[in-house]
C-alpha cells in the first residue's frame, strides 16, 4: 500500500492555501499555511478550528495510507485545538464504523490482532507510522480506539509504549494475548531449494534464528519496514520474508512454512485503548485486570508497602514496571514529596497490573491503601481479558 503522509500544521479550511493534495509518486503531501491559534482565542473559535482541522485529517485519511506524526497535523495540534466534536457525525460523517489505529503496516501482527480483537464489530483498521501518532489519533478524535503491543514473553516489556501510557491520557479497556506464528513467505514461483537470503523485521528474525539456520538460510537482512521487505521479496525469487500468514495475502506472496519460531510459546500482550474508561467488570467469572500508575512519596523504598497492600488481600500482582517519570508527573511528585526525597535528578513512576477488578470492594480497599503512599496516582484501566488467541496457520 502506498504511504500517504500528512504535512504542516492543522489549520481551518479557510486558512488553507493552494491545492488540497499534490500527488508525487506514492507520496501525497498536503499544503497549508497559517499559525497555531493563540491561547487568548475563545473556546468557540478553538472548537470551530478543532472541527475544521479534524475534517482536514479525515480527507487525508480518505486518500488512504498511514498517519505520520513527523509531518502530519497530528504532530502540530494539541488537545485544545482539536476539541471534542459536537456530535459523532462531526468525527465520522455519520459512519457507524469504529476506527482503530495501530502502528505498523497492513499484514503485520498488529493489523491481524485488530481484526481479532474487534471480530464481529464494524471496525476500520488504520495504520500509523509512529506509535506516538497512534495515541494522538485517539486523543484528537481522528480515531475511536487504539491497539498497542505492550509485552512479549521472550523480549520483555516494550518500554516506549509504557512511557506513552504515562504521558498520554488514554484508558485501557481490554487486553488480548496473541500467540505469535512466524511464517516463511516467498515469491509465488520460489521454492525452498532456490532460497539464498531471508529478510524481515529484526524482532521476527531474532525469534527464528535456530530454525532459519536449520533451513540453511544463513544470509539474513534486517528490514524494519515489512511492506518494503515484502516488495523486495516480490521481485527476488531467491529471497524469503519472515512475517505473519496474513502478510502472504496482503502482499501476494507464497506461504512456504508456518510456525518457524524457535519457541512455540511466543506470546505478545496487546492493549486496547480509548478516550473514556469503561465500567469495571463485576462478574467473578470474567478474568480481569486493573492497571495503575503511581509514584511513591518516600521514593522506591515504599514499594514493599504497596505490595503488602495487595498481598494482605490475596490480590495477585502480575506485572510491575519502573519507568523514568515524564515532566508532567515529576511536577506532581515534587508537590507531594518531602525535601529529602525531591533531591536528585532521577524520578521514577511505577506501573502495576493486578489480577482483579475495581468492581470488587476488596480491590478498592487495596487501592485506597496504596494511594496513602503516593505523590502521584492514576488508574489506567480496569478491564476484562479477551483470552489468548492463536494466529491461524496457513
Alpha-carbon span 252 to 289, nearest angstrom: 39
234 CB burial (10 A radius; 0-12, 13-18, 19+): middle
pLDDT over threshold 60, residue 28: no
33 neighbors 16 (Cβ within 8 angstroms): yes
pLDDT over threshold 90, residue 157: yes
Residue 376 falls in the annotated catalytic set: no
What residues contact 23, with CB distance under 8 A and at least 6 apart? Answer: none
Residue 282 falls in the annotated catalytic set: no
E strands, 106-200, in order: 123-128, 145-152, 156-157, 171-179, 183-186, 197-200
Domains and CATH numbers, the chain: 13-170 (3.40.190.10), 183-257 (3.40.190.10), 279-384 (3.30.70.260)
Among 251, 270, 294, 373, the one annotated catalytic: 270
pTM: 0.77
pLDDT over threshold 90, residue 277: yes
Place of cell 501525497: 28
Candidate ranges 189-193, 312-316, 329-333; pick with highest mean pLDDT: 312-316
Residue 177 DSSP SS3 = strand
Residue 56 DSSP SS3 = helix
Percent of the chain exceeding pLDDT 90 equals 51
pLDDT over threshold 60, residue 226: yes
Alpha-carbon span 96 to 352, nearest angstrom: 35
Residues 16-45 have a mean pLDDT of: 34
Q: Which helix (H) or strand (E) element contains residue 291? A: strand 288-296
pLDDT recorded at residue 53: 60
* pLDDT tens column, 83-94: 455 444 444 444
Residue with more model confidence, 347 or 332? 347
* pLDDT tens column, 283-293: 778 899 999 99
**How many residues does this entry show for the chain?**
394
Q: Which three cell numbers stand for residue 171?
A: 484508558
**Helix axes of 361-371 and 303-311: crossing angle, nearest 10 degrees:** 160
pLDDT recorded at residue 72: 55
pLDDT over threshold 70, residue 207: yes
Lowest mean pLDDT among 120-129, 153-162, 339-348, 368-377: 339-348
pLDDT recorded at residue 8: 30
pLDDT recorded at residue 333: 63
* pLDDT tens column, 32-66: 333 333 334 455 555 555 566 666 666 666 666 67
pLDDT recorded at residue 81: 44
* pLDDT tens column, 233-274: 999 999 999 999 989 989 999 999 999 999 989 999 999 999
Among 11, 226, 268, 341, the one annotated catalytic: 268
Burial track 92-125 (b if 16+ CB lie within 10 A, e otherwise): beeeeebbbbbbbbbbbbbbbbbebbbeeeebbb
> Alpha carbon 163 to chain centroid distance?
11
Mean of all residue pLDDT scores within the chain: 79
Amino acid at each position: 500500500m502506498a504511504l500517504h503522509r500528512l504535512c504542516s500544521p492543522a489549520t481551518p479550511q479557510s486558512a488553507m492555501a493552494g491545492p488540497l493534495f499534490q500527488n508525487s509518486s506514492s507520496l501525497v503531501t498536503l499544503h497549508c499555511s497559517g499559525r497555531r491559534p493563540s491561547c487568548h482565542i475563545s473556546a468557540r473559535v478553538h472548537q470551530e478550528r478543532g472541527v475544521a482541522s479534524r475534517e482536514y485529517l479525515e480527507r487525508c485519511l480518505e486518500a488512504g495510507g498511514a498517519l505520520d506524526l513527523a509531518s502530519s497535523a497530528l504532530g502540530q495540534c494539541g488537545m485544545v485545538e482539536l476539541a471534542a466534536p459536537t456530535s459523532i457525525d462531526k468525527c465520522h460523517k455519520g459512519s457507524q464504523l469504529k476506527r482503530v489505529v495501530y502502528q505498523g503496516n497492513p499484514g503485520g501482527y498488529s493489523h491481524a490482532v485488530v481484526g481479532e480483537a474487534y471480530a464481529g464489530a464494524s471496525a476500520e483498521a488504520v495504520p500509523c507510522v509512529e506509535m506516538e501518532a497512534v495515541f494522538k489519533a485517539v486523543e484528537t478524535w481522528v480515531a475511536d480506539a487504539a491497539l498497542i503491543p505492550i509485552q512479549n514473553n521472550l523480549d520483555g516489556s516494550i518500554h516506549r509504549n509504557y512511557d506513552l501510557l504515562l504521558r498520554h491520557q488514554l484508558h485501557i479497556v481490554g487486553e488480548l494475548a496473541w500467540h505469535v506464528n512466524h511464517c516463511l513467505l516467498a515469491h509465488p514461483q520460489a521454492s525452498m531449494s532456490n532460497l539464498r537470503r531471508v529478510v524481515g523485521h529484526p524482532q521476527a528474525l531474532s525469534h527464528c534464528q535456530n530454525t532459519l539456520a536449520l533451513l540453511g538460510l544463513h544470509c539474513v537482512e534486517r528490514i524494519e519496514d515489512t511492506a518494503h521487505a515484502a516488495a523486495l521479496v516480490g521481485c527476488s525469487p531467491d529471497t524469503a520474508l519472515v512475517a505473519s500468514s496474513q502478510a502472504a495475502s496482503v502482499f501476494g506472496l507464497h506461504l512456504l512454512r508456518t510456525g518457524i519460531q524457535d519457541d512455540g510459546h511466543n506470546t505478545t500482550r496487546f492493549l486496547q485503548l480509548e478516550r473514556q474508561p469503561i465500567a469495571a467488570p463485576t462478574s467473578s467469572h470474567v478474568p480481569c485486570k486493573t492497571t495503575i500508575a503511581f509514584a511513591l512519596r518516600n521514593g522506591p523504598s515504599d514499594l514493599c508497602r504497596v505490595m503488602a497492600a495487595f498481598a494482605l488481600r490475596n490480590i495477585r500482582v502480575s506485572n510491575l514496571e519502573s519507568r523514568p517519570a515524564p515532566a508532567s508527573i515529576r511536577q506532581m511528585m515534587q508537590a507531594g514529596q518531602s525535601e529529602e526525597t525531591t533531591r536528585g535528578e532521577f524520578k521514577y513512576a511505577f506501573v502495576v497490573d493486578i489480577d482483579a477488578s475495581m468492581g470488587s470492594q476488596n480491590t478498592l480497599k487495596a487501592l485506597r491503601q496504596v494511594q496513602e503512599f503516593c505523590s502521584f496516582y492514576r488508574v489506567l484501566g480496569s478491564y476484562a481479558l479477551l483470552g489468548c488467541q492463536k494466529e491461524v496457520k496457513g
